[in-house]
Structure 1
Amino acid sequence: MPKDRAPTRIQRKNRKAILDAALEVFSSRGFRGATVDEIASAAGLSKPNLLYYFPSKDAIYMALLEALLDSWLDPLRALDDSGEPLDQLLGYIRHKLDMSRDAPRESRLFAHEIMQGAPRISDILTGELKALVDDKAALIARWSAEGRIAPVHPQHLIFSIWSLTQHYADFDVQVRAVLGDEDPFDSAPDFVDTLFRRLLTP
Structure 2
Amino acid sequence: MTTPKPLTRIQQKNREMILAAALEVFSQQGFRGATLDQIAEAAGLSKPNLLYYFPSKEAMHSALLDDLLDVWLQPLRDLDPMGEPMEELLRYVRRKLDMSRDMPRESRLFANEMLQGAPRAGPLLDGPLKALVDDKAATLQDWMDEGRLAQVPPQHLIFSIWALTQHYADFEIQVRAVLGPGHDPFDEAGAFLDMVFRRLLEPGQNAR
> Shared fold by TM > 0.5?
yes
* Matched ranges for 1:50-129 at <5 A: 50-129=50-129
| Corresponding residue of 1:195 | 196
- In 2, the alpha carbon distance for the partners of 1:131 and 1:24 equals 30
- What is the DSSP-based 3-state SS (H/G/I as helix, E as strand, rest coil) of the residue aligned with 2:76? helix
Aligned-pair CA distance for 1:201: 1.2
- What is the DSSP-based 3-state SS (H/G/I as helix, E as strand, rest coil) of the residue aligned with 2:7? coil
* Matched ranges for 1:1-202 at <5 A: 4-181=4-181, 182-202=183-203
Aligned-pair CA distance for 1:5: 2.1
Report runs of 4+ in structure 1 exceeding 4 Å deviation: none
> Where does structure 2 lack aligned partners over 5 or more consecutive residues?
204-208
Aligned-pair CA distance for 1:186: 2.5
Identity of matched residues, %:
69
Q: Which amino acid aligns with 1:13?
A: K
Alignment deviations for residues 137-187 of structure 1 (CA, whole Å, 9 cap, x no partner):
011011000001111110000000000000000000100000011120121
Alignment deviations for residues 53-86 of structure 1 (CA, whole Å, 9 cap, x no partner):
0010000000001100000001101111111011
Alignment deviations for residues 90-127 of structure 1 (CA, whole Å, 9 cap, x no partner):
10000000000000000000000000000111111111
How high is the TM-score relative to the length of structure 2?
0.95
Q: Which amino acid aligns with 1:128?
A: P
> Where does structure 1 lack aligned partners over 5 or more consecutive residues?
none
How high is the TM-score relative to the length of structure 1?
0.97
- In 1, the alpha carbon distance for the partners of 2:81 and 2:5 equals 41
| Corresponding residue of 2:206 | none
User: What is the Cα-based RMSD across aligned positions, in Å?
Assistant: 1.1
